[in-house]
Chains A and B, each alone.
Chain A
Amino acid sequence: MSPAATAELRALSNTACIVGVDESDEIGTLPDKSQLSLHLEAITNAVRDAGLKVRDVDGIFTAGQHPPTLLGEALGVTPRYVDGTTVGGCSFIMMVGHAIAALHHHLCDVAVVSHGESGRSGVGVSPRRDTSLTGQYEIPFGFGGAPTYFGMITTRHMHEYGTTLEQWAQVAVSTRKWAGLNPKARNREPITVADVLASRPVCYPFNLLNICLVTDAGGAVVLTRADRARDCAKKPVYVRGAGEATEHVMVTQMRNLTQSEATRLSGEKAFGMAGVTHKDVQHVMLYDAFTSGPPLMLEALGFCKPGEGVRFFEEGRSTPGGSLPINTNGGGLSYTHSGMYGIFPIIEATRQLRGECGARQVPNVKRSLVNGMGGMLSAAGTLVLSNER
C-alpha cells in the first residue's frame, strides 16, 4: 500500500466500535428453527447486548442465502444502507470493514452484521445449485464438499514443508482444550493426537476430527461510531484495523497453494490501518474449518515463516496459558460451525476484549486479531480489534 493510502486508512482506525455481540438463543442441532429465525434471534440478542433497540438499526450487512432486504423486512425496519457481499465464511469479517466505512461517512448510524444458517438441519434453506464452472470441471470427478478442496492445499503443504498428520492433529487438540472451557461449545471432552489419528478417515489427509462441526447457528455484531459507542451498554471494542482481499474461487486457480495471497493482503491492510504489528496482539481468532487452516493463516499473515505455523500448536503457545491463545471459543472444530463461521470469531474476540469469558478469559488482552477465509482461502478478511483507542 502507498503511504497515502495507509494514511487514509489510519484515519478510519478507531472511528467505530463493536457495541453488541451475541449468538442465536441456542446453537447446535436445531431442527425446529428456520435459518431466518436464527438470524432474527441473533440480531435481537446482539442489539439488546448493545443496549439499543431494533428500531435504531439503519444498516444491515449479511451474507448467505437471505439478502439484507429480507432481514430488514422481517425485522420491520427500513435500512438506509445494506451490504450483501457473499464471498464465503469471511464475509462477516469483511463487513465489519465495510460497516466502519459506511458509519464514518454517515451512510448509516447503527450497523448490524448478521449470520444465520441452518447448516445441519436445513430448515428454511433453498437447495444449493452448483455453478457452471464446478459443474463442468469439478463435480464429474467427485469433488463437492469442502474437504475435497481444502485437502489439496493441505497435502501440498505436507509435501513442501514436511508437515505431518500428527502436527495437524495438534491443532484439534489445542482447540478442544479451549472448547472445554466454553459452556456453549458442542464438543468439550479432551482429545489427544492419537484420537485424531484414529478417528474415521473421511478424505485423506483429513480424518473426522480434522474437520469442523456442522451445526445450526446464528450470530450478530452491532457497530456504531465511537462517539455514540460510549453511551452503549457495554465497554466498546474499537475496530482498529480492517483488511480484505480475494484471490480465486476454484482451488486450481490459487497461485500458490500453500501461501494464500488473499490472506496475506488482508492482514497487511489490517495491520497497516491499525498501525500495529504481530507482537502487539495478545489473542488470535482464525477460521478453522480444517485443522490445517490456522497454521496456514499464521504463515500467510506473517506470524511466522512458511511451514512453521503448526509450531504454535505443538509447542502449546496456542493453548490455555500459552503465549498466544488461538481460537479460545473452541473454534469451528469444537464450538460451532454452521457453514459460514466468520461471525463467531468476531463475537469471541469482542467478549475476550470485554473480559467476559470466565474460565477461558485470556489475561491482559488489549488487542485481538481476527482472520477468516471464504471458500478455500479464496477470500480473506482480517480485523485488529482493541479495547482501548
Chain B
Amino acid sequence: MELERPLPQPITPEAKPYWEGLREHKLMLPKCGDCGRAFFYPRIVCPHCHSRNIGWIQASGRGKLYSFEIAYQTISRVFKVKPPYVLAMVELEEGPRMLSNLVNVEPDPKKIRCDMPVEVVFHKLTDEFTLPLFQPAGSAR
C-alpha cells in the first residue's frame, strides 16, 4: 500500500531514542543534564549551555499551537495527504518547538488560533515509524 506521507529519512544515530520512543507512543525529548533544559531536535550538544551531558525525558505530549499555516495545494510531491491540511508549529510544555500537523480540526483560519492548547496523537506509518501529530486539547481520539 502506498503511504500518504514520506517516511522520515535518513535517520541519524543521535535521534534513535526519539524514533524508538514514538514507536511505543512516547514523545521523547533530549534534556541537558547540566542546565536542565529540554530541546529539540536531538543533537549531542545542548543548544542552551553547550554541554555534552545529554539525557532523555518523556514529554507530556501537551503544548500550544505556536503558529500555523493551511496548505491549500500540494506543496511537496512526496506528501499525498489531500489539501487543505494544517501545518503546525507546536511549542511543547517542556519548551522546545517542533513542526507537525494539527489534525481533528477544520482547516479554517477562523477556527484555529495561535496559542490554543494542543496534545499529541501518535500516527503509525509503518511498524518502524510513528509520527507525532497534534490535535486541539481534549478532542476525542
Contact = CB atoms under 8 A, between A and B. Distances in A.
A137 B69 contact: no
A155 interface: yes
Interface string A201-217: 11111000000000000
B10 A159 contact: no
Size bin of chain B's contact surface: 35 or more
Interface stretch (B26-34, B51-59, B96-104): B96-104
Contact of B87 (A133, A142, A252, A257): A142
Interface in B71-123: 71-73, 75-76, 78-79, 81, 85, 87-89, 96-101, 109, 113-115
Interface stretch (A146-154, A224-232, A367-375): A146-154
A159 B114 CA distance: 7
Contacts of B78: 139
Interface in A203-255: 203-205, 250-253
A205 B69 CA distance: 6
Interface of A is mostly: helix
Interface string A247-277: 0001111000100000000000000000000
A153 B68 CA distance: 9
A250 B96 CA distance: 13
A144 B75 contact: yes
B9 interface: yes
Given A139-B76, A141-B101, A202-B73, A155 B5 contact: no
B9 A135 contact: yes
Contacts, number: 118
Nearest to A159: B114
A139 B114 contact: no
Contacts of A142: 5, 71, 75-76, 79, 81, 85, 87, 101
B70 to A, nearest CB: 4
B98 A252 contact: yes
29 contacts: A133-B41, A136-B9, A137-B8, A137-B99, A139-B78, A140-B8, A140-B131, A141-B5, A141-B99, A141-B131, A141-B133, A142-B101, A143-B87, A144-B76, A145-B76, A148-B71, A151-B67, A155-B68, A155-B114, A156-B89, A159-B113, A159-B115, A200-B72, A201-B72, A203-B71, A203-B73, A252-B41, A252-B98, A253-B47
